[in-house]
Structure formats: C-alpha cells, structure tokens
C-alpha cells in the first residue's frame, strides 16, 4: 500500500496568524508600559498561542493511497486524525 503526499498548506496560511500576533503584540506593548507583569504574561500567552497555531497549520497534510484521498491532522506525534 503506497501513500503519496498530495499537498500541504501554503505559506499564505501563516499570514493571518502573523498579522493577528503582530497586532496583539503592539497592543501588549502599551499594556507593558502600565504594568510590567501583566505585559509579560500577555506576551507569553500571545507567543504560545501563535506557536500553537503555526504548528497546527504545519500538521495538515493531504495524501492518497489505494483506499482514497485522506486529510490528516497530526499535531501531536503519534496521534493522527484522518478524514476521507
């Protein structure tokens, strides 16, 4: 049973996340000036969410085998969600 990768998400899928993260970080810089601790905590949350979104996009893969065409989401190593 041979599998062949058909597609992965393009670089354009990352643009929305990057723009939202940049806007949120610019708002966070204003918060940082009034409260350093709150600014640092918000920065950590924004960064963690952006990294999670980037990794989720990287995990999407479209491939085919003898049974048909499958969409695979494999964000966590070893746990794959298949739809086809």
**Confidence category of residue 62, pLDDT binned at 50, 70, 90:** confident
- The pLDDT of residue 48: 95
CA–CA distance, 58 with 74 (Å, rounded to integer):
9
Q: Please write the tens of the pLDDT for every residue from 23-57.
A: 999 999 888 888 889 999 999 999 999 999 998 88
Domain boundaries, the chain: 4-83
Distance CA 45, CA 29 (A): 14
CA dihedral 66, 68, 69, 71 (to 10 degrees): -100
Confidence (pLDDT) at 66? 80
Residue 83 pLDDT: 64
Per-residue pLDDT, 44: 95
The closest of 61, 59, 62, 63 to 75, measured between CA atoms, is 59
Rounded to two decimals, the pTM is 0.72
């Amino acid at each position: 049973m041979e599998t062949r990768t058909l597609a992965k998400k393009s670089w354009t899928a990352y643009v929305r996340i990057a723009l939202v993260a940049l806007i949120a970080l610019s708002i966070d810089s204003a918060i940082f000036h009034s409260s350093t601790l709150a600014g640092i905590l918000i920065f950590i949350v924004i960064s963690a969410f952006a990294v999670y979104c980037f990794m989720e996009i990287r995990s999407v893969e479209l491939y085919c085998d003898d049974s048909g065409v499958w969409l695979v989401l494999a964000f966590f190593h070893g746990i794959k969600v298949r739809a086809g």
